[in-house]
């Protein structure tokens, strides 16, 4: 799939889940603190949500964020994924996540995040229901956890966050950053 097909796939998943849960576009927009116009554009594949937006959407709709990676791709071996078999989410604010795990039903999932220079998870803190950790492969990742001062991680640094941790992250440099994330 190309980027536009992936964006349209995400749009369909969000719209269909919202309708299945009988939540109006206005109600969802209000609950996530965004405008109806923005959310309408996301559901039509015209705008991309930030990581914070998608986390808020998934929490409001009662699914884990990993739900949005669940489009299946045919694989020769069900326990292996090759680069051309991976699902990709293109967020706003310069972040792209690639699902590395072959299954979302296992005890953990792996993502590779690509952060363009200046990319950010969004203004608000994330509150993901999953325990998660990461390993910086390249570049720098700055993390804010709760009200603690930010921490900047370099290549080969790692971190682990408990479920429901209030955090956000960004690439504050002029170079790309790559992070391997693991979610429970």
Q: Tally the domains of the chain.
A: 2
Whichever domain contains 141, its CATH number is: 2.60.120.10
Percent of the chain at pLDDT > 70 equals 95
Q: Which domain holds residue 99?
A: 83-183
pLDDT at 32 over 90: yes
pLDDT in tens, 108-161: 889 999 999 999 998 888 887 789 999 999 999 999 999 999 999 999 999 999
126 shares its domain with 171: yes
Q: Are 142 and 163 in contact (CB under 8 A)?
A: no
Give me the mean pLDDT over the 6-19 stretch.
Answer: 88
Percentages helix, strand, coil for the chain, rounded to the nearest 5? 30, 25, 45
Distance between CA 26 and CA 15 in Å, rounded?
A: 12
In the numeric block, the tokens 């994924």 are attached to: 81
pLDDT in tens, 64-98: 887 887 655 566 778 888 888 888 888 989 999 99
Record the tokens describing residue 158, joined without a space. Answer: 């790692």
Q: How does DSSP classify residue 102? A: S
Distance between CA 96 and CA 159 in Å, rounded?
A: 20
Is residue 170 in a domain?
yes
């Amino acid at each position: 799939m190309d980027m536009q097909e992936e964006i349209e796939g995400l749009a369909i998943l969000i719209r269909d889940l919202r309708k299945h849960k009988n939540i109006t576009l206005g109600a969802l927009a209000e609950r996530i603190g965004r405008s109806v116009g923005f959310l309408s554009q996301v559901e039509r594949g015209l705008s991309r949500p930030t990581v914070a937006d998608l986390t808020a959407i998934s929490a409001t709709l009662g699914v884990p964020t990993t739900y949005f990676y669940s489009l299946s791709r045919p694989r020769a071996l069900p326990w292996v994924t090759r680069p051309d078999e991976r699902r990709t989410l293109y967020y706003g604010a310069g972040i792209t996540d690639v699902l590395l795990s072959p299954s979302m039903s296992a005890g953990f999932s792996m993502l590779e995040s690509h952060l363009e220079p200046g990319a950010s998870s969004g203004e608000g803190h994330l509150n993901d229901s999953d325990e998660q950790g990461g390993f910086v492969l390249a570049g720098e990742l700055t993390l804010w956890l709760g009200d603690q001062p930010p921490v900047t991680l370099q290549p080969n640094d790692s971190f682990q966050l408990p479920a429901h941790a209030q955090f956000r992250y960004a690439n504050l440099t002029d170079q790309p950053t790559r992070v391997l994330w693991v979610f429970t």
